[in-house]
């Protein structure tokens, strides 16, 4: 879990890369940029806000032979070992990015290399390297008094509310290739940023495993439980699944199945579905792993737990207390009306 609010920018270097296929050049600043009290909070928010607003999906540096042969990994190690060299190292980082900027779709832009301290990751303070790129330029208006009129001037600049590309390399897990977060607002060139430049792969940690397994369960509920049972059982299966993850520190598949599947006939269906679909979610050999509370919290927000009826009525189930729906909600068939119904038991209505 990360906390970026108290992060401090210790150093900032700004360069520019063009597109090699269009014969655009690279510009490397001779000195680091001198921040002032006016710019610092704005640029810090520009860099870090996208990472606070998205899920924590970590990456790590990789290489076909060994991670030490990843050039950006090597540069990151040198910076963490000697932070005072970051400006010179930032030129190498920008040059690496320039070498990958040959595809016609790649846009020119400014590159920012930042050394952060006072980062919080997994409840520990650490340092980090930020690599950010601004690409898209936006028109904006400036106004200037000229004699008796107010003139309107059109200029171009970057939108501080939208970072185009960014990566934060945390000084953690060096031997495995560090822990890295990445954002990319322009999806048309994802390989350029993640694969060609950063050279990273997904970090398969407890957050990744928890998120992927719950997503797999969500699709099993939709593809198997719903056709075999009904909408209530689909929702209830996911209620029980989330409840299991929320109440346990470790996932164990046999215990999980015993806890969440009421109909024994669905157990072999689950195993068959996993054999078929597991590679898509990268959980082929996954039967036990530590559970990430962060991923469970995110799943609660994203997984639908509502039964929508064609009579414009909704029944919302509770992920916190899934047993309530099993005890107090019954489904039946009314012969006279020729309609299904849900019977809901309660003692009193909550006033809030």
From CA 200, how far away is CA 256, in angstroms rounded?
Answer: 32
Average pLDDT for 242-266: 91
Residue 202 sits at the vertex; the CA angle it makes with 197 and 208, to the nearest 5 degrees, is 150
Distance CA 221, CA 137 (A): 44
Which residues are paired to 200 by β-bridges? 61
Rounded Cα distance, 286 and 294, in Å: 19
Q: Return the higher-pLDDT residue of 97 and 122.
A: 97
- Model pLDDT, residue 25: 94
Left, alpha or beta for 7 (phi > 0: left; psi -120 to 50: alpha)? beta
**Per-residue pLDDT averaged across 116-126, rounded?**
92
Encode pLDDT of 188-228 as tens digits: 676 899 999 999 998 988 989 999 999 999 999 999 998 88
Q: What is the mean pLDDT of residues 92-107?
A: 92
Residue 321 has pLDDT above 70, yes or no: no
CB of 52 closer than 8 Å to CB of 168: no
Mean pLDDT of all residues belonging to the chain: 90
pLDDT at 124: 92
**pLDDT at site 319:** 56
Q: Which residues on neighbouring strands pair with residue 110, listed in sequence order? A: 16, 134
Which of the four pLDDT bands, split at 50, 70 and 90, describes residue 320? low
What pTM, to 2 d.p., does this model score?
Answer: 0.78
Q: How far is CA 197 from the centre of its chain?
A: 19
| Residue of 184 and 319 predicted with greater confidence | 184
CA-based nearest residue to 131, from 169, 92, 74, 78: 169
Query: What is the distance between the alpha carbons of residues 25 and 17, in angstroms, rounded to a whole number?
Result: 7
Domain range annotation of the chain:
2-134+162-203, 207-344
Q: Which residues contact 312 (CB under 8 A, 6 or more apart)?
A: none
Spatial CB neighbours of 161, under 8 Å, sequence gap ≥ 6: 46
Residue 21 pLDDT > 60: yes
The H-assigned helical ranges of 53-173 are 71-81, 86-99
Three state DSSP letters for 305-316 = CEEECCCCCEEE
Residue percentage of the chain with pLDDT more than 70: 96
Backbone φ and ψ for 185, nearest 5 degrees, come out as -80, -20
Taking Cα atoms as reference points, which of 14, 129, 15, 8 lies closest to residue 76?
129
The Cα 213–Cα 289 span in angstroms is 10
Within the chain, residue ranges assigned H as helices are 39-52, 71-81, 86-99, 190, 206-220, 226-228, 231-247, 253-260, 266-281, 293-302, 323-328
pLDDT digits (tens, 9 = 90+) for 30-84: 999 999 999 999 999 999 999 987 777 899 999 988 999 999 999 999 999 999 9
pLDDT value at position 54?
A: 76
Q: What percent of the chain has a predicted confidence (pLDDT) above 90?
A: 60
Q: Are 248 and 203 in contact (CB under 8 A)?
A: no
Which residues 6+ apart lie within 8 Å of 325 measured at CB? 232, 235, 236, 239, 317, 318
Average pLDDT over residues 20-27: 92
């Amino acid at each position: 879990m990360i906390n970026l609010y108290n992060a401090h920018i210790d150093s900032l270097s700004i360069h520019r890369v063009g597109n090699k296929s269009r014969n655009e050049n690279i510009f490397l600043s001779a000195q680091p940029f001198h921040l002032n009290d006016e710019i610092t909070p704005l640029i810090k928010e520009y860099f870090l806000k996208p990472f606070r607003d998205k899920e924590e999906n970590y990456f790590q540096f990789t290489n076909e032979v060994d991670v030490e042969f990843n050039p950006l990994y090597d540069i990151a190690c040198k910076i963490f070992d000697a932070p005072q060299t970051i400006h010179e190292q930032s030129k190498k980082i920008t040059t690496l990015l320039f070498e990958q900027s040959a595809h016609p779709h790649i846009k020119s832009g400014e590159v920012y290399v930042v050394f952060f301290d006072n980062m919080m990751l997994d409840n520990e303070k650490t340092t980090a390297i930020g690599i950010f790129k601004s690409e898209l330029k936006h028109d904006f208006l400036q106004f200037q008094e000229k004699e008796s009129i107010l003139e309107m001037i059109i200029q171009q600049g970057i939108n501080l509310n939208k970072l185009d590309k960014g990566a934060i390399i945390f000084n953690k897990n060096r031997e495995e290739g560090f822990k890295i977060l990445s954002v990319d607002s322009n999806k048309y060139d994802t390989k350029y940023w993640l694969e060609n430049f950063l050279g990273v792969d997904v970090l398969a940690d407890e957050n990744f495993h928890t998120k992927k397994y719950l997503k797999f369960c969500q699709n099993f509920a939709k593809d198997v439980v719903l056709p075999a049972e009904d909408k209530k059982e689909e929702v209830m299966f996911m209620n029980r699944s989330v409840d299991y993850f929320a109440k346990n520190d470790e996932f164990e598949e046999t215990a999980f199945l015993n806890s969440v599947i009421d109909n024994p006939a669905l157990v072999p269906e689950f195993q068959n579905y996993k054999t078929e679909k597991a590679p898509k979610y990268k959980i082929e050999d996954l039967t036990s792993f530590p559970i990430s509370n962060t991923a469970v919290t995110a799943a609660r927000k994203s997984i639908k737990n509502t039964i929508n009826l064609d009579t414009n009525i909704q029944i919302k189930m509770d992920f916190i207390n899934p047993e309530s729906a099993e005890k107090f909600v019954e489904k039946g068939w009314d012969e006279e009306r020729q309609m299904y119904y849900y019977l809901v038991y309660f003692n009193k209505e909550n006033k809030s």
